[in-house]
Chain A
Amino acid sequence: MNILKTYKIYIGGAFPRTESGRYYPITDSKGNTLANVCLSSRKDVRNAVVAARKAFGGWSEKTAFNRGQILYRIAEMLDGRKAQFIDELVLQGISKSKAEKEVQQSVDRLVYYAGWADKYQQIASSVNPVSSSHFNFSALEPMGVIGVIAPQENSLLGLISSVIPAICGGNTVVVAASENHPLCAVTFAEVLHSSDVPGGVVNILTGKIAELAPALAGHMDINALVSSGLGELQRTLALSCVENLKRNFSYSNSDQQGLNFITDLQEVKTTWHPIESIGGATSSY
């Protein structure tokens, strides 16, 4: 007899059940129950944001090289557990070949962003030749805590494609997993847990998008919101985002990869400092 797995949520590097005690069943195409997953609440969102904010300082101050190493470590861990992810995708109604492709793409995407961690800064920052005796440069800094509403389809690749560029750039994340296909998200939390990713950097909740998305959009300590394919709900979320001028990104191509997914979640900081100017000495030879 198989052992049924308990799918819990992931907050601050721990796997609690939702504080609300609620659940909802995930079924396969024949209606058989695959799992009872947590129906997370607004309070879970708030707890997750506290964990993400707490983790932000340490994560954003890690060296870019180190973040790249950790992202590569996630790829290693995911690669080692491919079979489990393929099984879960198949259980949730995807063909074997499609599942294999999605998991392989997920590993590849992690490797792709692992490589970007110490490079995007060089591509997107600038030294600015001001018309006065100052040294002036603009560099990118992570926005802070990012709320992510993971794509409903491609429940693993979509999740990875929206979470990883955020943490690659030093942000921390609270993510609402695919509502009807949440199993891979929880198992991916186990991958993160064994990949040197500090607790709180990625927090994963399962539940109803209609409940979690507004809680994320309205939270005053979330700096940006990432979503895709939400249709009518998007306008409501955009209105909530105004309250603290949360940056709001709604992607139509959420299963893609690219530099812009990292840089969209960065602020540009410009720093000025005077240059001493004493007559006589020159650098002409």
Chain B
Amino acid sequence: MAKNTPIKNPTEWNYAASPESTSHIRLEKKYQLFINNEWVAPSSKKYFPSTNPATEEVLAEIAWANAADVDKAVKAARKAYQDVWSKLSGAERGKYIYRIARMMQERAREFAVIESLDCGKPIRESRDVDVPLACNHFFYYAGWADKLEYAMPHKKPESLGVAGQIIPWNFPLLMAAWKIAPALAAGNTVVLKPAETTSLTALKLAEIIKDSGLPPGVVNIVTGYGDTGAAIVNHPNVDKIAFTGSTNVGKIIQRAIAGTHKKSTLELGGKSANIIFDDAPIDQAVEGIVNGIFFNQGHVCCAGSRLFVQENIAERVIHKLKSRMESLYVGNPLDKNTDIGAINSKEQLETIEKYIRIGKEEGAEIYQSQCVIPSKGYFCRPTLFTGVSQSHTIAQEEIFGPVLTIQTFRTVDEVIQKANNTPYGLAAGVWTDKGSRIFNLTTKLRAGVVWANTYNKFDPVSPFGGYKESGFGREGGVHGLGAYLK
């Protein structure tokens, strides 16, 4: 085979613009809090803007809940738990959850468009991944509601009470589904707080919850910043905290609830290894690397951000990877051709740029794709670093952006040690044609999810969650029910 010449000027074969229509979506100018199936103005009287990170335009004003608002929501959830939800049969609970799933499916495209507008992710991902997975999650757990006694051997399943749930901005609707669906199936009621930059799809979900006739107070959605989340965590009448977000905030939450009766599950950060052996199908592996780190702009807790390539194929893999990076489209999230959308916020873009700067300062060699990025909005070129060692900051800390670090290895033992040498343990990827080696690695990698010859796959039936400082508890599958049952 001739040399792999990278495409010198990718703009030569630009696709014509193919934007998704936004004419069919319904967005209010101003969103209130959703408590007791009603839209309630915040007692703080404060609102904050939710912006489109691709255009920096304001999409809507969102209510900012304070401790009094959270208290109102918790009281509503407690009352709904005591008076209605805990008395309902599992079969009836299940019917409500099924109904929510169906109504979400009916409005799936609207959800996808709003998610891309608010979050910055490519429409292809929100349309084909986030929204269908969110619907399916409700479908999956709806069916568990009347079968809980099969979920945990020799334990009588009992609900916990009021679950306080705090979710991140990278998969806003999907994370809401991951949290709400199993909580309701297990018989709990919910107070959910979306991330401040991405409240819209959770509020649209509130519309569906209201339309579905779910009893008032069973699901309450309070929007706001960290102080709103803290009010949920510290509320004495909350029985369970479910949090997805950074390891730092996870630890703050654990400290806040230490010594209380509150149960918790934490799904936190990661610095996952993606390992390519010399017998791997290289082209597929390169797609896997790209999917591992550039999916959702790298805003993925399980992103394959540490690439380990076996030394004898490193040059070839890196060359192919660079030329593949040149063909990635960075731009308008609503364009169906877009591979990489907008970074979720200005703040996050600054964080990513800070790490890129540190990477260069510490002596790693940077490569960024040559693509043209929009002049407005928050965008970041797909980036990789070679010449990286374990001691580099960019190889240790979670960047949460489209930035890949590449290291090489020679032996199986060496790469297992390097891969496990991190306080995190969320996910890992292994690429090899040899079955016995796959099982050797998948057994020895200390991570909650291992993708062999694939990466970044998710499914409602598949338990997800970390080892070590990536958190504890699982979401998805039968194991995900454990988080919401005594």
Contacts and interface: CB of A to CB of B under 8 A. Distances in A.
Contacts of A245: 247, 250-251, 254, 266, 268, 468-469, 471-472
Contacts of A132: 457, 459
A269 B430 CA distance: 14
A272 B467 contact: no
A260 to B, nearest CB: 7
Size range of the interface on A?
35 or more
B69 to A, nearest CB: 28
A269 B452 contact: no
Given A123-B153, A238-B258, A273-B454, A128 B467 contact: no
A244 B450 contact: no
Interface string A118-154: 0000011010111110101010010100000000000
Nearest to B429: A272
B448 interface: yes
Interface in B291-340: none
A274 B454 contact: yes
B469 A244 contact: yes
A259 B154 contact: yes
Contact of A131 (B136, B251, B268): B136
Interface in B239-264: 247, 250-251, 254-255, 258-259
Interface stretch (B102-110, B230-238, B473-481): B473-481
Given A128-B463, A134-B454, A258-B154, A268 B136 contact: no
Given A128-B477, A134-B457, A272 B469 contact: no
Contacts of B469: 244-245
Interface in B407-435: 423
A272 B479 contact: no
A270 B457 contact: no
Given A134-B457, A245-B471, A270 B450 contact: yes
A242 B479 contact: no
Interface residues of B, number: 41
Contact of B251 (A136, A138, A223, A242): A242
A30 B347 CA distance: 69
A270 B462 contact: yes
A132 B451 CA distance: 14
A271 interface: yes
A61 to B, nearest CB: 8
A108 interface: no
Given A238-B259, A245-B254, A271 B457 contact: no
Given A136-B462, A271-B442, A239 B255 contact: yes
A247 interface: yes
A128 B250 contact: no
Nearest to B450: A271
Contacts of B258: 235, 238-239, 241-242
Interface in B350-366: none
A124 B450 CA distance: 18
Interface in A200-256: 223, 234-235, 238-239, 241-245, 247
A245 B426 CA distance: 13
B453 interface: yes
Contacts of B447: 269
**Most chain B CB inside 10 Å of its own CB: which residue of A141, A223, A243, A267:** A267
Nearest to A136: B462
A88 to B, nearest CB: 34
B463 A268 contact: yes
Interface string B442-466: 1100011111111001010111110
**Most chain A CB inside 10 Å of its own CB: which residue of B247, B250, B461:** B461
A270 B449 contact: yes
B454 A131 contact: no
Contacts of A128: 459, 461-463, 477
B465 A268 contact: yes
Contacts of B153: 123-124, 259
A63 B247 CA distance: 34
A131 B443 CA distance: 24
A128 B462 CA distance: 6
Nearest to B465: A268
A69 B255 CA distance: 41
21 contacts: A130-B457, A131-B136, A131-B461, A132-B459, A136-B462, A138-B463, A141-B443, A235-B258, A239-B255, A242-B254, A242-B258, A245-B251, A245-B471, A260-B155, A267-B448, A268-B448, A268-B463, A269-B449, A270-B462, A270-B464, A270-B477
Interface of A: 123-124, 126, 128-132, 134, 136, 138, 141, 143, 223, 234-235, 238-239, 241-245, 247, 258-260, 267-274
Interface of B: 136, 153-155, 247, 250-251, 254-255, 258-259, 266, 268, 423, 438, 442-443, 447-454, 457, 459, 461-465, 467-469, 471-472, 474, 477-479
